[in-house]
Amino acid sequence: GENVEQHPSTLSVQEGDSAVIKCTYSDSASNYFPWYKQELGKGPQLIIDIRSNVGEKKDQRIAVTLNKTAKHFSLHITETQPEDSAVYFCAASDDGNQFYFGTGTSLTVIP
State which residue, 15 or 58, has the beta carbon closest to other proteins: 58
Please, what is the minimum distance in Å from the beta carbon of residue 19 to other proteins? Answer: 18
State which residue, 46 or 54, has the beta carbon closest to other proteins: 46
Please, what is the minimum distance in Å from the beta carbon of residue 13 to other proteins? Answer: 20
Please, what is the minimum distance in Å from the beta carbon of residue 104 to other proteins? Answer: 5
The b-or-e profile of 34-68 (16+ CB within 10 A means b, else e) is bbbbeeeeeebeebbbbebeeeeeeeeebbbbbee
Contact assessment for residue 32 and residue 49, using Cβ atoms and an 8 Å cutoff: yes
- Residues near other proteins (CB under 8 A): 6, 32, 34, 36, 41-46, 49, 89, 95-99, 101-104
State which residue, 26 or 98, has the beta carbon closest to other proteins: 98
Sign (positive/negative) of CA torsion 79, 81, 87, 93?
Answer: negative
State which residue, 43 or 111, has the beta carbon closest to other proteins: 43
Please, what is the minimum distance in Å from the beta carbon of residue 106 to other proteins? Answer: 9
Closest among 68, 69, 86, 82 to 21, alpha carbons compared:
86
